[in-house]
Amino acid sequence: MPARVEQPVSELEERRARRVRDLMAEMSLDEKLAQLVGVWLNANRDEGVVAPMQDSMQGEEVEFEAFAGAGLGQITRHYGTRPVDPRHAAGVLAARQRWLRDRTRLGVPALAHEECLTGLAAWRAAVYPVPPAWGASFDPELVERMAGRIGASMRELGVHQGLAPVLDVIRDQRWGRVEECISEDPYEVATIGAAYVRGLQSAGVVATLKHFVGYSNSRAGRNLAPVHAGAREVADTLLFPFEVAVRDAGAGSVMNSYAEIDGVPVAADAHYLTRVLREEWGFDGTVVADYFSVAFLHTLHAVAEDAEDAAVQALTAGIDVELPTGVAYLEPLKKAVTSGRLDEALVDRALLRVLRQKARLGLLDDGYEPVEPEGPVDLDDPGAREVARLLAEESVVLLANDGVLPLGDAAGRRLAVVGPNADEVAALFGCYSFVQHVLPHFPGAETGIAAPTLLEALRAELPGAVIETARGTGVDDGDRSGIAEAARLAAGSDVAIVVLGDRSGLFGRGTSGEGCDAESLELPGAQRELAEAVIATGTPTVVVLMTGRAYAVPGLLRDAAAVVQAFFPGEEGAGAIARVLSGAVNPSGRLPMSLPRSVAGQPYSYLHPKLGGAGSVSNIDPAPALPFGHGLSYTTFAYADLSADATAPAGGSIRCSVTVRNAGDRPGAEVVQLYAADRVASVTRPLAQLVGYARVELAPGRSARVTFEVPSRLLAFTGRDGRRIVEPGEVALSVRRSVADVVEERAVMLTGPVHEITGAEPRLTAVTVEPAEPTQPAEPAEQER
């Protein structure tokens, strides 16, 4: 690891460091251990499970004052456990912080954490699109803006740490938690994930990277199933987003994965939690345990004989804080220290990290006063809704279109809007939204936010159309009794809109989400039959998919007039889809994951070597129905004048430029995608990998020159001897509309000796977009969509 450059220490920083030292010197063992655990109040198991094995792992309900008598590290999900009025709850939280400050011996406040993947997971808080929608937007700046608003709402309520973003790289569409992931491409995950970190932490809230590492690579796409990934796959693909979030975005916390990699649970693996994370990358924040994962070393993984053994292994490996509560890090860990089994220095190591983080957040400052809003609290203000709208609009992907879209104002036309998700508000939200994560356990509770269904949004967007509706079937109930009625309605209409997809939930209570893995990638229930029946009427049919994962729908892509994909698009999502259908918004989303042809190709990633594709040696073709990066528009874009350095040092960078022009008659946004391919290497390499992208908004006839400065670090891989290297040799750089649609390619020769990665190299491609001179209509040499 390169030597750090020492920065001047401010008076405030020195005062805080002194306070940390003084506290550590003063603390008893009980007080030290109290700082290494959280407490989860009101987590009533009878009201539903929202964490793995919560029903068996969460102990009896405790009183706050009794639990926190020696102090407290964290308060778990104060807002995210049940529907509570935000302002009232903020007052309760502030009172508990004052109690810790005034009534415990050392007066150390707790750090409060909440889930915040699609917005603060609290009642009445804004709900944004799920991470695959962020990936579909290819717009890190907008994601950063969203995260900044999320962080501001958390800080207003006295929350210090957010359990997001998820940086797992999608490897298998069957996995239920695909809906929490950004992309199947590690570069896109890294760039958009880092943007989220910057946004959240700009508001003074600590971002927590999840799930470090390997979680998404589980066998058969099953949640918590073993991971069998080689060291090369982990290093070259799965770790990269976390490295960027730590080294380039400065993430303050990391949460371990539940997974075991090649037989070793990550929660007990010092290689990842200490050697890679801290010694290689220089991470100086806290590592927090995913809920109950310390105890799981005993109860699920069977690598620890009891809670004490589990605590010793986790703390030694590098987990600083046990969440959600103190199952193993209180009495069991105390026993290990007092018996001499565990060196108290390891407790002090974790304690130092925890207190430093609290100091940085101002919790240890003289005169600390907890946050308590004085006036009304609006967690879903117009600014939040504007960002939610923009992100939803940018993330809608037009998969197929024979010209039926856009609909225009549809005045006087008859539209049949059918399907289980047409008039279902839950179809807008992912499983880590408060609406789907918590409210199902409180029947009768209001959602607390305004969110029209797609049917309601279409009626508002197309007031001149005659719109009739039928449900047809449920998401996964298999009920076929309403299909004939839906088909009859469609037969008498000018256009049919069939709204299909998922219902998010937890642990089998949905078709997508944590613990809701898929045996098949067919649409759940009888939804495909509904769509086929409507298409068979001959009425032009638009299929809208509102899902958490990509489904295998090759027949619908072939037979429907148009297919639109929206990954759970949030509270403004229905309006966004309606505006795309009408043409008020030009679709610009691109697939952040390959759209499978069938389940047979899973697990699948476009980042496969030559033998990962179709060939004469197997009867199964894993090629997707639509590739990563695919997405259509209502306008056309032309490319010209691709240039790239002919040579570049293996330890340097490659400069590449291309001109893109809106050749159509509508404003639109093109996602310019740059890929690289290593022609020959000492280990097998992907046929193509994304190394840069730019979302470019252009008026009709206007052009832009897009320039990429690609660090050779992006071409690095783990060599045969285990070193991370960039080899000299020929590399192909290509501009593509998707990974499968090559516009133009240039050969670049990397020169010099093999370059061993030091960690000091740039990790991200610098991109500049500049207006270009207007050009005439496309010449034959131009590549036009």
pLDDT, tens digit (0-9, with 9 covering 90-100), for 511-545: 999 999 999 999 999 999 999 999 999 999 999 99
pLDDT digits (tens, 9 = 90+) for 290-303: 999 999 999 999 99
Q: How far is CA 314 from the centre of its chain?
A: 26
State the Cα–Cα distance between residues 606 and 46, nearest whole angstrom. 43
Edge-to-edge strands, sheet with 724-726: 717-718, 724-726, 755-756
Question: What average pLDDT does range 598-611 have in this prediction?
Answer: 91
Per the prediction, the chain carries an average pLDDT of 95
SS3 455: helix
The whole-number pLDDT of residue 778 equals: 45
Contacts of residue 664, defined as CB under 8 A and 6 or more positions apart, other chains included, come to 633, 634, 635, 636, 637, 700
Q: Which residues sit opposite 286 in a β-bridge?
A: 253
Q: How far apart are CA 89 and CA 120, in angstroms?
A: 14
Amino acid identity, position 226: P
Q: What is the band of 46 on the pLDDT scale with cuts at 50, 70, 90?
A: low
**At how many degrees (to 10) do helices 186-202 and 140-156 cross?**
40
pLDDT at 475: 98
Q: Is the pLDDT of residue 176 over 80?
A: yes
Give yes or no for residue 118 having a pLDDT over 90: yes
Task: Give the H or E element holding residue 481.
Answer: none
User: Over the range 28-67, which residues count as b (16 or more CB within 10 Å of their CB) and which as e?
Assistant: eeebbbbbbbbbbbebeeeebbbbbbbeebbeeeeebeeb
How confident is the model at residue 336, as a pLDDT? 98
Integer CA distances (angstroms), 468 to 455, 497, 562, in order: 9, 10, 19
Place of tokens 């610098």: 766
Confidence tier at 602 by pLDDT (50, 70, 90): confident
CA dihedral 546, 128, 205, 161 (to 10 degrees): -40
CA distances from 156 to 111, 376, 433, 783 (A): 14, 11, 19, 50
Instruction: Provide mean pLDDT across the span 237-247.
Output: 98
The DSSP secondary-structure symbol of 8 reads P
Higher pLDDT, 48 or 81: 81
* CA distances for 433 relative to 61, 177, 427, 571, 746, angstroms: 25, 13, 12, 10, 44
Average pLDDT over residues 477-504: 98
What three-state secondary structure class fits 738?
strand
Per-residue pLDDT, 7: 61
C-alpha span between 126 and 103 (Å, rounded): 35
Residue 56 has pLDDT above 90, yes or no: no
| pLDDT score at 779 | 46
Contact yes or no for 674/692 (Cβ under 8 A): yes
267 alpha-carbon distance from chain centroid? 21
Task: State the Cα–Cα distance between residues 116 and 121, nearest whole angstrom.
Answer: 5
Of the ranges 43-57, 273-287, 552-566, which one carries the lowest mean pLDDT score? 43-57
Of 108 and 1, the one with more pLDDT:
108
For the ranges 12-26, 32-46, 71-85, 745-759, which has the lowest average pLDDT? 32-46
Separation of alpha carbons 169 and 185, rounded Å: 7
* Confidence grade of residue 47 (pLDDT, cut at 50, 70, 90): low
pLDDT at 2 over 50: no
C-alpha to C-alpha distances, 42 to 46, 435, 509, nearest whole angstrom: 11, 18, 22
Contact 750, 727 (CB under 8 A): yes
CA dihedral over 439, 53, 173, 193, signed as positive or negative: positive
Instruction: Cite the beta strand spans of 632-765 per DSSP E.
Output: 637-644, 647-649, 653-662, 668-678, 689-698, 703-711, 717-718, 724-726, 729-738, 741-751, 755-756
8 A C-beta contact, residue 425 and residue 477: no
- Which residues are registered as beta bridge partners of 677? 732
How, if at all, do strands 260-261 and 161-162 pair?
unpaired
CA distance linking residue 258 with residue 255, whole number of Å: 9
pLDDT, residue 3, reads: 45
Mean of pLDDT values over 312-330: 97
Residue 217 has pLDDT above 80, yes or no: yes
Measure Cα distances from 654 to 244, 733, 737, 752, 760 in Å.
20, 9, 20, 14, 17
* pLDDT more than 70, % of the chain: 95
| Separation between Cα atoms, residue 625 and residue 597, nearest integer Å | 5
pLDDT-derived band at 48 (thresholds 50, 70, 90) equals low
Neighbours of 577 (CB within 10 A): 28
Instruction: Name the band, by pLDDT with cuts 50, 70 and 90, for residue 785.
Output: low
Which pair of tokens denotes residue 491? 């037969």
- Give residues with Cβ within 8 angstroms of 194, minimum separation 6: 140, 241, 244, 245, 248, 249, 764
User: What's the whole-number mean pLDDT along residues 264-286?
Assistant: 98
Provide the sign of the torsion angle of the four alpha carbons 286, 287, 292, 294, taken in this order: negative
Q: What is the mean pLDDT of residues 631-646?
A: 98
pLDDT band at 4 (very low <50, low <70, confident <90, very high): very low
Residues 468/495, Cβ–Cβ less than 8 Å: no
**111 band by pLDDT with thresholds 50, 70 and 90:** very high
For 428-462, write each residue's pLDDT tens digit.
999 999 999 999 999 999 999 999 999 999 999 99
Helix, strand, or coil here: 318? coil
pTM tops 0.85, yes or no: yes
User: How many angstroms separate the Cα of 48 from the Cα of each of 52, 442, 513?
Assistant: 11, 9, 15
Rounded average pLDDT over 231-237 = 96
The percent of residues in the chain predicted with pLDDT above 90, rounded, is 92
